[in-house]
Structure 1
Amino acid sequence: MRARPLPVRSTVRLRRPVDIWHKPALSAVVAMAVPDITLYALGRLDLILYTSAGSLCALYAHGLPYAARARTLLWVVLGMVASLGIALTAASLIPSAAVLVVLASLLAAAHKMACEATRIGPPGNLILTFVAASAFFVPQRLGQVPVHLALALGTGGLAWLVCMAPGLVRPRGPERIAVARALEAAAALLRTRAGAGDTEAVAHARHATAAAVNAAWHTLFLVPVRTPARTAAGAGPERFLVRAESALGGVDGEAHPEAEAERLRGWARELRRGGPLPETAAAGGESLPGPDEAAPRHPVPGRPGGLRAVRARLAPGSPLLPIGARVAAGCVLAGWASMAVGVGHPYWAVVTAASIYQANTTLSWQRALQRTVGNLLGLLLFSALLPLIRTGPLAMIALALAFQFGAEACITRNYWLGSVCVTPMALLLTGFGAHLPAATLVGDRWTDTVVGAAVGLACCVLVTNRRAADRIDIALERVAAAESAAHRLLAAAPAPGPEDARETGWARDRLVGCLVELREAVDVAAGEWWQRALPEERIAHAEQRGHRALAGLVQRHSAPALAA
């Protein structure tokens, strides 16, 4: 067992923003502006908390194809309304703040585990927990609950429409972006490999490319192809993805890696612009393989999906169970500690504790530091804007929308930078229905932040994930099994027809999925503070052998199409 140092400098370092940050930002602003202005016209701004619950669902699922996005957003809206219903019902029936803290903490743990199991992506459990935890401490009568839930459901429907609207203009936009990311990762791999100086950098670029290609195939598999027209439409992005995948096996571009990298980046730019798909490479005139030159790719048979996959990730022994225990224990203790120091509405301590829990202790420490720094700066910003806020409700609405946009613009660069906007936005949303002195509001929020981060981090250190190293052992076994299956396939002579290509594609998908899972397991275990020594040599050998087998599969699967 050994204790690992906790980073500080890298915790506050700014990164490049995510390429589609503007999509959730604009969607949320539109979904919030319509009900906010309507409530202002009706003189019922006290209902903004309930309409915001549905509007904030517009932050989800922007990386998914539209068919999958429609289903996912429906579940998000229903989950938000159900959580809000639990919170408001409890607030109307239970007078004890201590009991409400327990219920809010259990619901926060359920949000965390559900979002991790479904792999819904950003913003994850944070929005659901913020809305529900706030609602637990809103004065409420039982007869008001149905009306408030109807408001949330209605604005959730509006958020659904806003998020689906771009599909009328770019129906295959999410797939094109996913393939563009894979092309950009493949170009970076070719450039890194051409330098050939840093073996670790090459390994990192290879893993990033494998993950991007795997994510792109997963995105394409989510698109229904029930008609020949849809099959033909999906063949274009697939051809580019095959080309990106070829970088993993060195099928093409090894003689001139810089030229091939620039070609891949050029195709990525064309895909992002939304125009017609480029048919030939800009330099050299090479045609991409057409839809009839390669067998269509299909998901690996037998792999669980949908609710079965979620249940499997929550089964006994799941690595999500210790995370759920951390969230529940930390949120309860943080809320009770906040009450002990005199804060009347400890929901922010619960939200703070819930927000810091990540996959391991190191990431949780980083999130706690980022949350504390961001909230402090956000409170200072809110205090500086108080003269403007006091000018009237229109100013409050405009600032809330601006902070919502700013949060999405900044949070992908670093969580603390996004928190600078999230904190005053949260204060404004809760301030529409309550009239507390600004000094009390800021003081309580700062106390809750410090208490929630400190208590939550303490629970994270004490409730360690001892199963993290066990997950590595399981991942190593899966990589070995997938590698053996790949070698058996490679040892056999290629058979003519689409069947061999289909089997090769399935073997590739299994192996790359296992390699990505192994790297994720290693990263999680490496960030646990107290953890037994990792089998680093065994991990390195498994990844090297796995990527060699993957290169062979990629060559076998891609070379015929690329030579066509």
Structure 2
Amino acid sequence: MSTQLTPLGTRARPLPLRGTWRLNRPGDIWYKPAFSAATATAVADGALLAAGRPDLVLYTSAGALCALYGHALPYAARAGALAVLVLGMTAGVGVALTAASLTGSAALLVLVAALLAAAQKVLCDASRIGPPGNIVLTFVTAGACFAPQRLGQVPLHLGLVLACGAFAWLVCMAPALVRPHGPERVVAARALEATARLLRARGDEVPGARHAATAALHTARRGLAHTRADGHPLAGLEGLLLRAESATITEGADGAAARLHESWARDLRAGRPLPDGPWPAPATGGTGAATAAGPEPVRSAGPQDTPTATGAGAPVGAAGPSPARSRRRRLRSPLVPVAVRVAAGAAAAGWASLALGVGHPYWAVVTAASVFQANTALSWQRALQRVLGNLLGLLLFALLPPAVRTGHAATALLTVVLLIGAEALIARNYWLASVCVTPMALLLTEFGGGHPARELIGDRWTDTLIGAAVGLLVCVLVTNRRAADRTDAALGRLSEARAAALALLDAPHSAHEAGRARDRLATALVELREAADVAAGEWWQRALPAERVRLAEHDGHRALAALVRRLAPAAA
């Protein structure tokens, strides 16, 4: 991406178009969230139709849509994460419904929806709950802010949210009865596939492929933190990952090794027995230093808080930070500018929609909230994708009224089909998923009472343009200067982790110590690449130390390779 130097010593970066419309590979487990959410939604809608209360679909949908989350997590971690998510969804809807029952001011309700959107964005990014992130929560709570409501109705409606959320929890946990270790196998298979891509890479493809393999292997090891006990059905899986990691040390393409790793990945996905070893013995203590709650998904471009001093970015044995230092760190978090962007942009979009007399201002709030990504470049691309997807989705919705008029049962069926379509397409490109999400959102309004299709289409299109334009404007005005600071901090953590690893290699050490150093160094490498990618996409930023980042990554990967050779000398 070309840059030009400004008089202030910062760099103004043009907003890119490349890759905006490109279709990616389909998601490998898209059917799991798709059919889980479809099942929860279909059961909830069926119960409402049987009771003759389709007007309550907003509240049952709020709980049912929780089934979209957590499918990359091992079941032990998934249980806790989904429980917290359901409670968070219920709390957000509770705030929205209470506000709707206490005030009739649309401007004030827009502000409540915007603040909820900002809080949901920060909490989802900080917890790394994973796709679909905050946007589903914001979609539900923004609509709830404008649902006609009396204070006495709030407990019943929240009870519906909680009940359907509990059912969604059961749906997401049910596969554990059949394949109790399926998620661990999937995350390990992804790591093996990333390793195979690295083994096939040539020339300029190698650095990106090496980072992707390092990140996937690191995520897989974290996901296996609670499967390390001797005799566990997957006790040998970490040895397989260590063998894969040792293969990444080799220089140059190796097609035979790539095919071998791909065959192992297929075996894991198919539920076949683990490939025969011999595997290197895993370094006890390394992965155990990671959270036992399950894998922490690595996002290629997303803000995250800096690790605490007791996490992977701190020296082994370091004391935890003081409360005052923790407060300062939170205030310096890269998530703070993101929260400001979401709150300001969503509120401004909603108020602009009100000023223009649009009948559904919360759609502008949701559009603005969906635009805000990790940096300005990604937000620009998301805005373009949202506009195109909504336009095509509105054209699709214009063809649906004849089917909708046959009754609420047809509307419910179409909603479920569109939900599955959105999940099937979201990994391909966001604009494709929006083609399904847009008519689905409009169909949900039909349960609360029929609206003229022309009015719904006009309001949705106007709110899409308002939300996208205002969201981008706020992205430009509210710059994230902390993105470059985060890169500097990540460079420092990588330097410390590399120094500790090299010192360990020069002295006698146990496999436990080597494993912890390996995990710490891999974490630092992943965080540096994330931080550099986020900073590179901010349109107004001081010059980034690109060459320093490149050299740090190169030296870090060499140190990581040396540790792997010590952990798995036979495999290496």
The TM-score, its normalising length taken from structure 1, stands at: 0.91
Q: How does 1:27-426 map to 2 (within 5 A)?
A: 27-192=36-201, 195=202, 198=203, 200-221=204-225, 223=226, 228-229=230-231, 232-250=232-250, 257-280=254-277, 287-289=278-280, 295=284, 297-300=286-289, 303-304=310-311, 315-426=330-441
Q: 2: CA distance between counterparts of 1:156 and 1:443?
A: 33
Q: 2: CA distance between counterparts of 1:28 and 1:323?
A: 29
Q: 2: CA distance between counterparts of 1:132 and 1:176?
A: 35
TM-aligned CA distance change 1:312 to 1:156, over 3 Å = farther
Q: Once the 2 structures are TM-superposed, how far is the Cα of residue 356 of structure 1 from its aligned partner?
A: 0.6
Q: 1: CA distance between counterparts of 2:167 and 2:534?
A: 38
Q: 2: CA distance between counterparts of 1:73 and 1:312?
A: 28
Q: 1: CA distance between counterparts of 2:85 and 2:328?
A: 19
Q: Once the 2 structures are TM-superposed, how far is the Cα of residue 276 of structure 1 from its aligned partner?
A: 1.8
TM-aligned CA distance change 1:31 to 1:260, over 3 Å = same
Q: 2: CA distance between counterparts of 1:218 and 1:114?
A: 21
For residue 5 of structure 2, what is the aligned residue in structure 1? none
For residue 517 of structure 1, what is the aligned residue in structure 2? 527
Q: 2: CA distance between counterparts of 1:487 and 1:228?
A: 30
Give CA-to-partner distance per residue, 1:250-271, whole Å, 9 cap, x none. Answer: 3xxx799222211111110000
Q: Once the 2 structures are TM-superposed, how far is the Cα of residue 481 of structure 1 from its aligned partner?
A: 0.6
TM-aligned CA distance change 1:321 to 1:22, over 3 Å = same
Matching residue within 452, 457, 473 for 2:467: 452
For residue 283 of structure 1, what is the aligned residue in structure 2? none
Q: 1: CA distance between counterparts of 2:563 and 2:507?
A: 12
Q: 2: CA distance between counterparts of 1:262 and 1:366?
A: 35
For residue 27 of structure 2, what is the aligned residue in structure 1? 18
Q: Once the 2 structures are TM-superposed, how far is the Cα of residue 2 of structure 1 from its aligned partner?
A: 2.1
TM-aligned CA distance change 1:312 to 1:523, over 3 Å = farther
Q: 1: CA distance between counterparts of 2:106 and 2:553?
A: 51
Give CA-to-partner distance per residue, 1:50-96, whole Å, 9 cap, x none. Answer: 10000000000000000000000000000000001111111011110
Matching residue within 453, 477, 495 for 1:438: 453
- The amino acid across from 1:214 in the alignment is H
- The amino acid across from 2:404 in the alignment is I
CA contact (8 A) 2:267 2:274 kept: yes
Q: 2: CA distance between counterparts of 1:400 and 1:58?
A: 15
TM-aligned CA distance change 1:228 to 1:504, over 3 Å = closer
The TM-score, its normalising length taken from structure 2, stands at: 0.90
Q: Once the 2 structures are TM-superposed, how far is the Cα of residue 247 of structure 1 from its aligned partner?
A: 2.2
Shifted more, 140-149 versus 55-64: the winner is 140-149
Secondary structure at 1:233 match in 2: coil
Identity rate of aligned residues, in percent? 61
- The amino acid across from 2:11 in the alignment is R
Q: 1: CA distance between counterparts of 2:227 and 2:149?
A: 44
For residue 503 of structure 1, what is the aligned residue in structure 2? 513
TM-aligned CA distance change 1:77 to 1:224, over 3 Å = farther
Q: 2: CA distance between counterparts of 1:409 and 1:164?
A: 21
- In terms of fraction of residues, the more helix-rich structure is 1
Give CA-to-partner distance per residue, 1:160-207, whole Å, 9 cap, x none. Answer: 000000111110111111111111111111122xx4xx1x31111110
Give CA-to-partner distance per residue, 1:353-411, whole Å, 9 cap, x none. Answer: 00110110000001111111111111110011111111211110110000000000001
Q: 2: CA distance between counterparts of 1:315 and 1:299?
A: 26
Secondary structure at 1:263 match in 2: helix
Q: Once the 2 structures are TM-superposed, how far is the Cα of residue 541 of structure 1 from its aligned partner?
A: 1.0
CA contact (8 A) 2:286 2:519 kept: no
Q: Once the 2 structures are TM-superposed, how far is the Cα of residue 220 of structure 1 from its aligned partner?
A: 1.0
Secondary structure at 1:110 match in 2: helix
Q: Once the 2 structures are TM-superposed, how far is the Cα of residue 468 of structure 1 from its aligned partner?
A: 0.8
Gaps of 5+ in 2: 1-9, 291-308, 313-319
Over aligned residue pairs, what C-alpha RMSD do you find?
1.9
CA contact (8 A) 1:24 1:62 kept: yes
CA contact (8 A) 1:104 1:133 kept: yes
Q: Once the 2 structures are TM-superposed, how far is the Cα of residue 295 of structure 1 from its aligned partner?
A: 4.0
CA contact (8 A) 1:482 1:507 kept: yes
Q: 1: CA distance between counterparts of 2:488 and 2:274?
A: 43
For residue 284 of structure 1, what is the aligned residue in structure 2? none
Q: 2: CA distance between counterparts of 1:148 and 1:170?
A: 35
Give CA-to-partner distance per residue, 1:452-489, whole Å, 9 cap, x none. Answer: 11011100111010111111111111111111111111
- The amino acid across from 1:66 in the alignment is Y
Secondary structure at 2:224 match in 1: helix
For residue 526 of structure 1, what is the aligned residue in structure 2? 536
Task: State whether structure 2 residue 552 is matched by structure 1 residue 542.
Answer: yes
TM-aligned CA distance change 1:476 to 1:296, over 3 Å = closer
Q: 2: CA distance between counterparts of 1:224 and 1:343?
A: 54
- The amino acid across from 2:514 in the alignment is T
Number of aligned positions between the proteins = 534
Q: 1: CA distance between counterparts of 2:161 and 2:377?
A: 36
Gaps of 5+ in 1: 281-286
TM-aligned CA distance change 1:263 to 1:228, over 3 Å = closer
CA contact (8 A) 1:175 1:237 kept: no
CA contact (8 A) 1:482 1:510 kept: yes
Matching residue within 477, 499, 502 for 1:487: 502
- The amino acid across from 1:300 in the alignment is A
Q: Once the 2 structures are TM-superposed, how far is the Cα of residue 133 of structure 1 from its aligned partner?
A: 0.2
CA contact (8 A) 1:248 1:550 kept: no
CA contact (8 A) 2:284 2:515 kept: no
TM-aligned CA distance change 1:312 to 1:25, over 3 Å = farther
Secondary structure at 1:531 match in 2: strand
CA contact (8 A) 1:376 1:446 kept: yes
Q: 2: CA distance between counterparts of 1:18 and 1:207?
A: 20
